[in-house]
Amino acid sequence: MCGITKRVERMERTKAAEKDAGAGGQHARPGAVVNRAMTAFSPADEEKQRGVRQMKLTATGLLVFVALVYVLAKWAQNSGAGPWAGYVAAAAEAGMVGALADWFAVTALFRHPLGIPIPHTAIIPTKKDQLGVSLGEFVGENFLSEDVVRQRLRAVGIGSRLGAWLAVPEHADRVTAELSTALRGALTVLRDSDVQAVVGEAITRRANAQEIGPGIGKMLEKVVADGGHKRVVDLVVTRAHDWLVLHRDEVMDAVEGGAPGWTPKFVDRKVGERVYRELLRFATEMRDMPGHPARGALDRFLTDFANDLQSDTDTRARIERLKGEVLGRGEVQDLIASAWTAVRSMIVAAAEDERSELRLRVRASLLSLGSRMAAERKVQDKVDQWVEDAAVYVVTTYRKEITSLITDTVASWDAEHTTKKIEANIGRDLQFIRINGTVVGSLAGLLIYTVSHALGA
C-alpha cells in the first residue's frame, strides 16, 4: 500500500507540473523557448530547493530555540534566579526580534508574509518586469557604453594576442582550412544561374556605361609609337607569304573565276598568273623590307585611326554602336556567363587541395600577418582600433535591441516559476541572513542590556 501511495503522489505531482507548464505557455510571447528553459526545474534545482528547505528549518529552529530560552530566562528571572537571567532574557528577546525581522525581509522578496498582501512585499513576482527593465538599463549603461567597451578591449590587447596565435603554423593551417571550408560552402549555396545572371548584367552595364573609344585610341597610339604593332605586321605578312606559296592554284582559280565570260581561257590564265606573281612579290617585299612603303602607310593609318578614336565624334559613335552590337549577341552573353562556371570550378578545386597555390598563399599571408601583428606595435594598434571601432559600432547601434532582449526575456518568464527558481538558487544563502540576524540581534540585545545596567538605567 505504501508503494502504491507513493506512485499516486508522483503522478499527481507530474500532472500538477504539466498543468503549471501549460498555464505558463498560454501567456508565452515569442520567447517561449527561453520561458520553458527558465521555468523548468532541473534535478540540480530540486537539490538546491531541498537545501533551501533544510536551511529554513535550521533558521526556524534557531528562532524557536531563542524563544524557548527567552521563556525560560523570564521564568528564572521572575523566580529570583539571579541577575544572569535578565541578561539571558534580553539577549534572547533581541534575538527573536532580529530573527523575525530578517524572516520578514527574506520572505518579502518572494511572497507575501503569512499570505497577507502587505505593501512592498512579494517583490520578485510583482516587480519582475520592472526588474527586467532595470537590469536591461543597467547593462546598457554600464556594459554597453563606448568608454567601457574601448577600455575592456584595449586591456585585452587583441592585436598582439591574435598575432601571436596566428604566427603558430598549426593555427595558420587551421584558419586556412576553416576559410577553405567556408568558401566551398558559400560557392555550393550560390546557384550558378543567379551568379551568372548577376555577372553578365554587371559586365554589360559597366561596359555600356563607359565609352571605350578614347581608351582604345590611347592604347593604340602608344603601341604604334613604341613599334609594338610591327611584330603583328611581321607575323601577318609572313603567314600571307607562306599561304600564297602553298595555295597558288586556289588564287589563280579565284582570279580566273572572276573574269568575264567572253574572254579567252588562255588570257584568263595569263591574268591569273600575273596577279598571283604580283601578290607574292608584294608579300615578299613586305616581309623582307622593314621600310616598305606599305608598312609606312599602315603606320600612318593606325596613327590616324588612334587619333580619330580619341577625338573624332563619328568614329567614336561607330565604335560604341559596334560595342553594343557585340555585347548584345547571345554568344557573347553566354561566354560572359560561362566565365563564372570556370572561375567557380577553379576556386573550389584550389580550396579543396591542401597544396594548391591559393591555400599556400593564404597560409603564408596569415603567418606573415601574425608575425607582424605580434612584433609591430603599429600593426597591433591598427588591429585594436579596427576591433574597437567595430565593437563600439555594434553596441551603440544595437544597444536598444540588446537591452530589449534582456527586458523581453525576463518579461516572458512566468512569475511563480521564476520566483521558485530564483529562491532555489539563492534561498539557501538568504537563510543565513535569518541565522545571522538571530545571532547578531542576541549580541546587540545583550550589549544594550549590559550598557543600560552599567549606566544605572
DSSP for 188-225, please give it.
HHS-HHHHHHHHHHHHHHHHHHS--HHHHHHHHHHHHH
Condensed to tens digits (0 to 9), the pLDDT of residues 261-271 reads 666 777 767 77
Residues 444 and 389 in one domain: no
Any idea which of 6-10, 169-173, 299-303, 441-445 has the lowest mean pLDDT? Answer: 6-10
Residues 304 and 261 in one domain: yes
Residues 313 and 215 in one domain: yes
Q: How confident is the model at residue 299 (pLDDT cuts 50, 70, 90)?
A: confident
Q: How confident is the model at residue 286 (pLDDT cuts 50, 70, 90)?
A: confident
Q: Are 220 and 302 in contact (CB under 8 A)?
A: yes
Condensed to tens digits (0 to 9), the pLDDT of residues 12-40 reads 444 444 444 444 443 444 444 444 445 56
- The type of residue at 442 is S
Residue 73 has pLDDT above 60, yes or no: yes
**HSE, side-chain direction, 13 A CA sphere, residue 294:** 12
Q: How many domains does the chain have?
A: 3
Buried b (16+ CB within 10 A) or exposed e, 38-59: bbeeeeeeeebbeebeebbeeb
pLDDT at residue number 261: 66
pLDDT at residue number 426: 81
Residues 312 and 385 in one domain: no
Residues 435 and 394 in one domain: no
Residues 228 and 269 in one domain: yes
pLDDT at residue number 253: 76
Query: In sequence order, which residues have a C-beta less than 8 Å from that of residue 369 and are 6 or more positions away?
Result: 163, 166
Q: Are 179 and 362 in contact (CB under 8 A)?
A: yes
CA pair distance 149, 159, nearest whole angstrom? 15
Across all residues in the chain, what is the average pLDDT?
81
The better pLDDT of the pair 203, 50 is held by 50
Residue 29 belongs to some domain of the structure: no
Distance in angstroms between the alpha carbons of the first and the last residue of the chain: 65
**Percent of the chain whose pLDDT exceeds 90:** 16
Residues 82 and 167 in one domain: no
Residue 54 belongs to some domain of the structure: yes
Helix (H, G, I), strand (E, B), or coil: what is residue 332?
helix
Residue 222 belongs to some domain of the structure: yes
Residue 336 belongs to some domain of the structure: no
Residue 31 belongs to some domain of the structure: no
Residues 302 and 212 in one domain: yes
CA torsion angle 233 234 236 237 (round to 10): 110
Domain endpoint, select from 280, 312, 328: 328
Integer angstrom CA distances of residue 99 from 72, 246, 395, 432: 18, 120, 46, 10
Domain endpoint, select from 377, 392, 408: 408
Residue 246 belongs to some domain of the structure: yes
Compute the average pLDDT of residues 230-256. Answer: 84
To 5 degrees, how large is the angle CA 67–CA 51–CA 409?
Answer: 115
Residues 318 and 371 in one domain: no
Domain that holds residue 168: 143-187+359-408
Integer angstrom CA distances of residue 314 from 209, 212, 213, 308, 431: 18, 14, 11, 8, 96
The better pLDDT of the pair 223, 332 is held by 223
Residue 135 belongs to some domain of the structure: no
pLDDT at residue number 58: 92
Residues 99 and 58 in one domain: yes
Residues 261 and 316 in one domain: yes
Residue 128 belongs to some domain of the structure: no
Residues 305 and 390 in one domain: no
Q: Are 70 and 92 in contact (CB under 8 A)?
A: yes
Compute the average pLDDT of residues 247-266. Answer: 73
